[in-house]
Amino acid sequence: MSTLTPPRARPATSTPRPGVRHLGPNWYATVMGTAIVASAGAALPSPPPAVALRAVWALSAVALAALLAARAAHWARHRDQARRHLADPAVAPFYGCPAMALLAVGGTTLSVGAGVIGEGAAVAVDAVLWTAGTVTGLVAAAGIPYLMVTRHRVEPGTASPVWLLPVVAPMVSAALGPALAGHLPAGQAREALLLGCYAMFGLSLLMTMVLLPLVFSRLVHHGPLPLALTPTLFLVLGPLGQSTTAVNNLADAVGDALPAPYPAGMAAFAVLYGVPVTGFALLWLAFATAMVVRAARRGMGFAMTWWAFTFPIGTCVTGTAALARHTGLHAFTWLAVALYVLLAAAWAAAGVRTLAGLFSGRLLAAPRPAPAAPPSTTARTT
């Protein structure tokens, strides 16, 4: 008597291989956070070894190329999910990250990669990426707030530092554009680029001043952010450090592009603006660090929001290094070095945990349903 052997069942623990369906625009933060390690290191008065900076730059360039391909596949195969991201007020602000990733890699190619691929090629790459990043950033800076007003349903008390991401992108263009100005012929083209960077500095700064009070009001009236979002408090450092970098880089580049007394005025403004803003950045750094320590004690685990520790701190490195250059004050030099050590440690921690999450498939898996919210109370828990 013969028996039929039933087909071997697939183990119940097997899960579908993760793809790009849930690959959101927030992943560009990994590129930004990697590129800034190289460019911030190059900005220090005594930079790390060139070979190390070039290796990090190459890593950021490869990561950008891979992510652009993956996001193109995401839009081609999962357009419904991509549109859902744009319709989600918690995800849409991350569309400021692609522009900053393009700009960061382009700027690092010029400041670090020129020693590998040659100055001419580096200028060409930076020009393409800066142009693409600037156009993308301006679209995000105007488009995402428009969606927030007309399409998104934003509940009271949900303001987040993530809202700053789209409006900071033009500030990155303003900070990195002056490096390209020196490669343009003197005259209208150079002047237009420099004054255009000043305009982007202004629009980004004023939008930040509109949004930042909303963020702090949310914290005061509704208490700390959820544990996983607590690292996003560091995003506030981005416009502060980047604006300081921008005005100092513009003061260096203006040269004879503008008639007197503008060059001298811009040089003075770089210090008169940068020093007070750096003071506020240090205050916010202390506040954000205290909030992260509090969250860690309450069980904050790894999330992609950890990348908020990288790029914003890197902009503070470039800003304080520029102030050290313009003032000759050694205190700014040591502050830049200390911030760079913090940046390198944060990048290493976020990078290792991200690689582990990629290999395990956890970071590309479908998000778990949010647990039911506890009953609201009028008293704040501590």
Report the alpha-carbon distance of residue 315 to residue 46 in Å, rounded: 17
Q: How confident is the model at residue 368, as a pLDDT?
A: 65
Report the alpha-carbon distance of residue 72 to residue 67 in Å, rounded: 8
Q: Is residue 247 part of a domain?
A: yes
The pTM for the full model equals 0.90
At a CB cut-off of 8 Å and minimum separation 6, what does 364 contact?
18, 19, 20, 22, 23, 358
Report the alpha-carbon distance of residue 228 to residue 305 in Å, rounded: 7
Residue 152 pLDDT > 90: no
Q: How confident is the model at residue 376, as a pLDDT?
A: 38
Residue 6 pLDDT > 80: no
Q: Is residue 86 part of a domain?
A: yes
Q: Do 116 and 54 meet the contact criterion of CB atoms below 8 Å apart?
A: yes
pLDDT band at residue 248 using 50, 70 and 90 as cut-offs: very high
Domains contained in the chain, number: 1
Residue 104 pLDDT > 90: yes
Taking residues 322-336, report their average pLDDT: 97
Domain holding 146, by residue range, is 25-360
Taking residues 339-362, report their average pLDDT: 95
Report the alpha-carbon distance of residue 272 to residue 323 in Å, rounded: 10
At a CB cut-off of 8 Å and minimum separation 6, what does 214 contact?
159, 163
In angstroms, the Cα distances linking 95 to 12, 118, 132, 280, 339 are 37, 32, 14, 27, 27
The two tokens of residue 51 are: 């070979």
CA torsion angle 195 199 205 206 (round to 10):
140
Q: How confident is the model at residue 373, as a pLDDT?
A: 41
Q: What single-letter DSSP state applies at residue 236? A: G
Identify the three-state secondary structure at position 10: coil
Q: How confident is the model at residue 369, as a pLDDT?
A: 55
pLDDT band at residue 4 using 50, 70 and 90 as cut-offs: very low
pLDDT band at residue 18 using 50, 70 and 90 as cut-offs: low
pLDDT band at residue 236 using 50, 70 and 90 as cut-offs: very high
Q: How many residues does the chain have?
A: 382
Q: Which residue has the higher pLDDT, 4 or 284?
A: 284
Taking residues 35-54, report their average pLDDT: 96
Angle (CA) 35 36 42, round 5°: 105
Q: Is residue 42 part of a domain?
A: yes
Residue 224 pLDDT > 80: yes
66-80: pLDDT as tens digits:
999 999 998 888 888
Count CB-CB contacts under 10 A for residue 188: 10
Q: How confident is the model at residue 14, as a pLDDT?
A: 42
Q: How confident is the model at residue 5, as a pLDDT?
A: 44
Q: Is residue 6 part of a domain?
A: no
Share of the chain above pLDDT 90, in %: 77
pLDDT band at residue 155 using 50, 70 and 90 as cut-offs: confident
Q: Is residue 12 part of a domain?
A: no
CATH number at residue 119: 1.50.10.150
Q: Is residue 119 part of a domain?
A: yes
Quick check: bond before 261 cis, omega within 30?
yes
Report the alpha-carbon distance of residue 46 to residue 113 in Å, rounded: 18
Q: Is residue 336 part of a domain?
A: yes
Residue 370 pLDDT > 50: no
Report the alpha-carbon distance of residue 334 to residue 332 in Å, rounded: 5
Q: How confident is the model at residue 375, as a pLDDT?
A: 43
Q: Is residue 379 part of a domain?
A: no
pLDDT band at residue 131 using 50, 70 and 90 as cut-offs: very high
Q: How confident is the model at residue 288, as a pLDDT?
A: 98
pLDDT band at residue 223 using 50, 70 and 90 as cut-offs: very high
At a CB cut-off of 8 Å and minimum separation 6, what does 191 contact?
257, 258
